[in-house]
Amino acid sequence: LLIYYNGEFVPKGKATVSIYDHGFLYGDGVFEGIRAYNGRVFKLDEHVDRLYDSAKAIALEVPLTKAEMTEAILETLRKNNLTDAYIRPIVTRGIGDLGLDPRKCPIPSIYIISQEWGAMYGDLYEVGLKAITVGIRRNAPDALSPNIKSLNYLNNILAKIEANAKGGDEAIFLDQNGFVSEGSGDNIFVIKNGKIYTPPTINNLKGITRATAIELLEERGYEVVVQNLGLFDMYTADEIFVTGTAAEAAPITLLDGRKIGDGSVGPITKAAVAAFEEVTGTIGTP
């Protein structure tokens, strides 16, 4: 496997990160998670746009044009002969000294890692995930915005640890005001009486799969309402599913020990999963 690093391709075993890279020292950088299906990269322009928006938000200038970044991603797949893959572009502030000062990092580091990709949740697509609402809150939009896909994922990791410790497969974040935010790596959809609800993206990542799900469901005649949601809406939902590049659309059938609906995967969730299967040619697997 070859890893892209600042314009060069390095074998996986030799690909290393400097201990002075501020991405390593301080989480000072941004990233994306992208999928390729059957030789086509899914929503590549959207992911490249979000990578550059994340970089802009942390005042990090990516030393490639978007077209060059797109080409670097495609070249990484070609070099590795990958057609069904997960792709992880990372841009960090670069190598500096031990201090925080970003001005001491003259050249941003760009890494692109790709690998073959298998099912994220395996047979959980059939039975649904157990989710836990975690005590740790999602970053506030006025601080480190959850819209930035930054290398600071400690918030998400602590959420995952908490959910796993309580027997959950996935964590559900509330925001600082108690509104439903998102999962540790996916956005949330709630279904009640045939209507689909999802929170606005002020308090969560502007998920590309979320946007795709809204589009696919509306095309199929479902009404999608973007509005703030509370825990009550989750507990009393008929169905809940989450969306993300890794998860695609995945059902949640148990939340904080409460069955969602009758505890089985509901019809609108099945329609969402099937819609992704249609556009990607696969569910969760290459």
Active site residues: 149
The answer to whether 156 contacts ligand PLP (rule: CB under 6 A) is yes
Q: Give the Cβ contact number of residue 160 at 10 Å.
A: 21
Stretch that binds ligand PLP, among 66-74, 127-135, 204-212, 266-274 (CB under 6 A): 204-212
Which contiguous run of DSSP H or E holds residue 208? helix 208-219
With contact defined as beta carbons under 8 Å apart, do 134 and 173 qualify? yes
* In the complex, least distance from residue 130 CB atom to ligand PLP, rounded to whole angstroms: 19
Q: Shortest distance, CB of residue 82 to ligand PLP, whole angstroms?
A: 18
Q: Interior CA angle at 266 toward 261 and 267, to 5°?
A: 140
Question: Quick check: 182 binds ligand PLP (CB under 6 A)?
Answer: yes
208 near ligand PLP (CB under 6 A): yes
**Nearer to ligand PLP (CB atom), residue 93 or residue 138:** 138
Question: Which H or E element spans position 40?
Answer: strand 40-41
Give yes or no for residue 128 binding ligand PLP (CB under 6 A).
no
Q: What DSSP state is assigned to residue 83?
A: S
Closest distance to ligand PLP from the beta carbon of 46 (Å): 8
Size of the site for ligand PLP (CB under 6 A): 15
Q: Tell me how far apart the terminal alpha carbons of the chain are, to the nearest angstrom.
A: 17
Q: Is 272 in the site for ligand PLP (CB under 6 A)?
A: no
Backbone phi, psi, residue 162, to 5°: -65, -45
Q: Which is nearer to ligand PLP, 196 or 208 (CB)?
A: 208
Among 29, 96, 168, 207, binds ligand PLP (CB under 6 A): 207
Task: Determine the Cα–Cα distance for residues 167 and 46; give it in Å rounded to an integer.
Answer: 34
Q: Which of 22, 93, 130, 210 binds ligand PLP (CB under 6 A)?
A: 210
**Cα 129 to Cα 9: distance, rounded to the nearest angstrom:** 38
What token pair was written down for 7?
A: 């314009």
Binding ligand PLP (rule: CB under 6 A), the pick from 114, 133, 201, 245 is 245
Element (H, E) at 219: helix 208-219
Instruction: List residues binding ligand PLP (CB under 6 A).
Output: 33, 156, 182, 185-187, 204-205, 207-210, 243-245
